[in-house]
Structure 1
Amino acid sequence: MDRNDHAPLLQTVGLTRHFRIGGLFSSAKLHAVDDLSLTIRPREIVAVVGESGSGKSTIARLLAKVYEPTDGDILFRGRSLHEVKSRRDLLAYRGEVPMVLQDPFASLNPVHTIGYTLDRGLALHQPKLTAAEREVEAIRALEAVGLSPARQVLAKYPHEMSGGQRQRIGFAQALSYKPKLVLADEPVSMLDVSIRIGVLNLMAKLCAEEGISFLYITHDIASARYVAHRIVVMYAGRVAETGPAEQVLHHPVHPYTRLLLSAVPDPKAPITITAADTGEPPRVVNPGPGCRFRQRCPLAIDICARVTPDLADTVPGHAAACHVTAPQAGLAA
């Protein structure tokens, strides 16, 4: 069955998160995420792409219920997460939607073996399993992510594993809970280039063979191109462009998406010196109306400073938030 034939696994509706900054009487608010509407379907990898400060990791922490939203809602399998309040319900949800962190070493306790770490997680999220069943499940998860012989891995400590192996342990820990959706927050950014492709292949394999969906947070649009079915481009807390990966990457509409793609090195291109991206960094503290990319945008016009652009379809399923390019693309389509 095609991925798009399934009902949504997770949806966000107008998801917003602001952080109050400054002193007790300060009215300053940092707009980390504004009005995010996102859909993730079964057996789908959705990549959220953007530079540092774009709100990517805040989205992952909202979906993991580390942060509570300022406004909006998150629906998991049709149920609002506002209803997930008890510790039991929260542990059950986090077992179905676990998070794999950016730093594979910091996410593992250095004084405990891999076996202890996996067993402890299973005891929390799968409390009905016996100790023997937890060991079987841990071995299954390690073998599924390519770590074998699994029993030897269980006896090792984190410092005895390489960076790539530790990241695979993070995926194994998530996989042992039999999740529906894994939140992968920059899972390859701290790994050597030579082993990143192995972790990306692992994500694709788990999606295809285990039926697990992924929200893949990354600043590297090249890796998103390699592994994602759909891409969401974020800038300063708002969605700039979203759509099927091939459509967004081969027919980018938003100027920011074009900028990200222009920064991806082409090994076949001659070596040249090009002008760097210029302009002011985005304003995310009390940003006010207007497009947040306008200070860096070569196409900005007067309305960009006055009106915040809404996401508009250029072709069905592919949308961009731009006053200049999105209407033109829609007319051309």
Structure 2
Amino acid sequence: MPDDPGQELLRAEHLTKHFKIGGALARHTLHAVDDVNFSIGRREIVALAGESGSGKSTIARLLARVYTPTAGEISYEGKPLSRLRSRRDRLRYSGQVPMVFQDPFSSLNPVFRVSHGVLRSLKLHRPELSESQRRDEAARVFEVVGLDAEMLQRFTYELSGGQRQRVGFAQALVTRPKLILADEPVSMLDVSIRIGLLNLMAKLRDEENVSILYITHDIASARYVADRLIVMYAGQIAESGPIEDVLASPKHPYTQLLLSAVPDPRAPLGVAAETDRGEPPKVIDPSPGCRFRWRCPLAIDTCSRVTPVLAELAPGHQAACHVAQSGAEVKAFSA
């Protein structure tokens, strides 16, 4: 029986990751992720959006246990990851929460045929299968992701970029995952190919009962496939909520800025977006206050002194903005 789509699968509470910079005697700290709270439900696609350097990929690596949190906790199916002690428990988690990378070459070995990585994952995570069963399962997942089983015998260089990315999803799928961490999976593909990968993610949610954390800088693609949207800026969550609600009525000026950067085919030639407005985010030893205040035309005195926290401004819709929380209309950038 499929999992209840409203049931929580993973939760991050006060998740923080800092990096010391400057060598052995480092005196500075890069705040890659700061006090982040969010959850992912079963059979749900959550889009994590923001500019480069906002902390999106750091969160993916924290969830994949590549990085150890500086503070905070990640719970999977109600159990804290910090309590995963045995190799069996860690292997089970890595199989149920695999990653699909931006560059498919990161997970494909060009020396071997495509089947090598898929069969190796099956042998590691599903040792109960016989060799013939592993080959049958590899052929099945290739069909699920839209590839012919014949492609298992090809080398990486014989595949197109879109096919290689589908192989990455196939490698993730053979471990019977419950949550796939997809880190910018379509950003290196031609626009004409991206829609097929977005449709594949929706198919995995609907037919394979898989949740997906879709990390992207492209809000337009997030709107196409995601159920919820989390917008990050400078290591913090700026806004989150049901994607249609957030995009129809963005409460944070930064979300409005991202939306203003989406190309509008109706706009006259020469109209430029305002994404370059103001200073870049300060994430090295940041001072108190809103980290977006240097780029925000609505910033008030409180913004420079008090770090805003997420507050619910509509059902399920949260924003970390002093101006929005005061009840004032937030109209900083035109979409």
Normalising by structure 2, report the TM-score: 0.95
Report how far residue 128 of structure 1 moved. Answer: 2.0
Question: Tell me, which stretches of 5 or more residues in structure 1 are unaligned?
Answer: none
User: Pairwise mapping of residues 75-224 of structure 1 onto structure 2 (< 5 A)?
Assistant: 75-148=75-148, 150=149, 152-224=150-222
Give, in angstroms, the shift of residue 4 of structure 1. 7.8
Q: 1:2 offset after TM fit, Å? A: 11
Aligned match of 1:278: 277
Q: Shift of the alpha carbon at 1:118? A: 0.4
> Is the 2:45–2:226 Cα contact (8 Å) retained in structure 1?
yes
**Residue 47 of structure 1 aligns to a residue in which SS?**
strand
Tell me the residue number matched to 2:45: 45
1:133-165 Cα offsets, whole Å, 9 max, x none, are 2111111110000101x1x11111111110000
Instruction: Write the distance in 2 (CA, Å) between the matches of 1:274 and 1:61.
Output: 34
What's 1:308 paired with? 307
- Report the more deviating stretch, 310-319 or 79-88: 79-88
Following the alignment from structure 2 to structure 1, what is the Cα–Cα distance between the partners of residues 26 and 128?
Answer: 48
User: Structure 1 residues 272 and 325 mapped into 2: Cα distance closer, same or farther (>3 Å)?
Assistant: farther
Q: Partner of 2:104: helix, strand, or coil?
A: coil
Q: CA deviation at 1:210?
A: 0.8
DSSP-derived class of the 2:193 partner = helix
Show CA shifts across 1:44-63 (max 9, x none).
Answer: 00000000000000000000
Contact 2:8–2:40 at 8 Å: present in 1 too?
Answer: yes
Identical positions, percent? 62
**SS at the partner of 2:327?**
helix
Q: SS of the residue aligned with 1:241? A: strand
Give the whole-Å Cα distance in 2 for the aligned partners of 1:128 and 1:295.
57
Return the offset for 1:127. 2.0
**Structure 1 residue corresponding to 2:249, chosen from 243, 251, 260:** 251
Contact (CA 8 Å) 1:315, 1:330: kept in 2 or not?
no
Q: Is 1:242–2:240 an aligned residue pair?
A: yes
* 1:172-224 Cα distance to aligned partner (Å, 9 max, x none): 11111111000000000001111000000000011111110000000001100
Give the aligned residue type for 1:304: C
CA-CA distance at 1:312 after TM superposition: 0.6
Whole-angstrom distance in 1 between the partners of 2:128 and 2:235: 40
Distance 1:268 1:74, change over 3 A: same
**Distance 1:287-1:121 versus aligned 2 partners, 3 A rule:** same
Q: Tell me the CA shift for residue 330 of structure 1.
A: 9.6
Instruction: Report the AA paired with residue 124 of structure 2.
Output: L
Deviation at 1:27, TM superposition (A): 2.4
Indicate conservation of the 8 Å contact 1:55/1:236, yes or no.
Answer: yes
The one-letter code sitting in structure 1 at the alignment partner of 2:165 is Q
Aligned residues: 329
Q: Give 1:233 deviation, angstroms.
A: 0.1
| Separation in structure 2 between the aligned mates of residue 261 and residue 216 of structure 1, nearest angstrom | 18
TM-score in terms of structure 1 length: 0.95
Task: Report deviation, 1:273.
Answer: 2.8
Q: Distance in 1 between matches of 2:175 and 2:130?
A: 14
User: Is this contact kept in 2: 1:61–1:67, CA < 8 A?
Assistant: yes
SS at match of 1:303: helix
The 8 Å contact of residues 314 and 330 in structure 1, kept in 2 or not, is answered as: no
Indicate the residue corresponding to 1:265 in structure 2: 263
The residue identity in structure 1 corresponding to 2:311 is: A
CA gap 1:144/1:80 in 2 versus in 1, 3 angstroms: same
How far apart are the structure 2 equivalents of 1:212 and 1:263? 31
1:227 aligns with 2:225: yes
Q: How much does 1:125 deviate?
A: 1.5
Deviation at 1:269? 2.7
CA offsets 1:75-115 (integer angstroms, 9 cap, x no match): 10001000113322211101000000000123200001111
Contact 2:5 2:44 in 1 (8 A): no
Paired amino acid for 1:53: G
Check conservation: 1:253, 1:329, Cα contact below 8 A: no
Q: Which runs of 5+ in 2 are unaligned?
A: 331-335
How far apart, in 2, do the equivalents of 1:98 and 1:248 lie? Answer: 28
After the TM superposition, which of the residue ranges 73-82 and 105-114 deviates more from structure 2?
Answer: 105-114
C-alpha deviation, 1:316, in angstroms:
1.5
Amino acid at match of 1:269: A
The residue type paired with residue 132 of structure 1 is S
Please state if 1:291 is matched with 2:295: no
SS at match of 1:14: strand
